[in-house]
Amino acid sequence: MKSHVWRTLFVVILLVVGIMVFRLFYVPSDFGSGKRGFMYSYHRFSNEGEWKAQPIKYRDTGKQKMHEYCGECHDDVVEVRTEDLHGTIACENCHGPAFDHPEDPEELVIDRSRALCLRCHTDLPYTTSERHRIPGIDPKEHNVDEMCVDCHDPHNPRLEDM
């Protein structure tokens, strides 16, 4: 047992110590396990705060409160809104995120495309699905090349009120 074994062993020990020292400085001090243990929750704790700090874009108001909020300034629209037809659709679905509206953005988008309405109103022959409860049209036949909102009021689509 002479020198050659000691030499490799020394190199290995040096490597291990080197890696440990590097690790000591490189790994953030708040690395640790949550209550689910090492296997599922070994992480940098400050990352949770980073996710919490993501910017919010959509208002959280629930449908009814949404209408109350928007109604403060757009009560003409909210008044014609039909509770039984489009009343369940939150305004932001069609007008985009409005967390800081009317400061930022000052105006919301108005999407007059047919695609917006066709999400729900394309006729699909699915009698067993809830989709069947929504009146459907064939987009290739129902007044092609015209915008739906030229004839239908998106806030009150009731056919009798047309």
Partner 1 sequence: MERRDFLKKSIIVVAGASVPLSALELVDPKEVLAANPDIHWAFLLDTHKCVGCGFCVKACKTENDIPFNAKVTRTWVERYVYTKDDRRYIDSPNGAQDGYTESRIDLGQGNFKEIDPENVGKAFFVPKLCNHCETPPCTQVCPVGATYKTDDGVVLVDRTWCIGCGYCIMACPYGARFFHPVEKVADKCTFCYHRITKGMETACVNACPFGARKMCNINDINDPVTQIIMNQRVGVLKDEFGTKPQAFYIGLAQEVR
**Residue 80 — φ and ψ, nearest 5°?**
-75, -15
Per CB under 8 A, the list member of 23, 25, 51, 104 interacting with partner 1 is 51
Per CB under 8 A, the list member of 7, 57, 112, 158 interacting with partner 1 is 57
Virtual CA dihedral for 68, 69, 74, 77, nearest 10 degrees?
-40
Q: Which of 95, 97, 92 is nearest to 109 (CA)?
A: 95
Q: Which helix (H) or strand (E) holds 33?
A: strand 31-33
Segment near partner 1 (CB under 8 A); pick from 9-17, 75-83, 90-98, 144-152: 90-98
Per CB under 8 A, the list member of 96, 105, 108, 149 interacting with partner 1 is 96
The verdict on 11 binding partner 1 (CB under 8 A) reads no
Q: What is the largest CA-CA distance in the chain?
A: 102
Our CB check for partner 1 shows the closer of 50 and 150 to be: 50
Alpha carbon distance 155, 111 (integer Å): 13
Q: Which residues of this chain interact with partner 1, rule CB under 8 A?
A: 31, 34-36, 39-44, 47-48, 50-60, 62-63, 88-90, 92-93, 96-97, 115, 118-120, 122-131, 134, 139
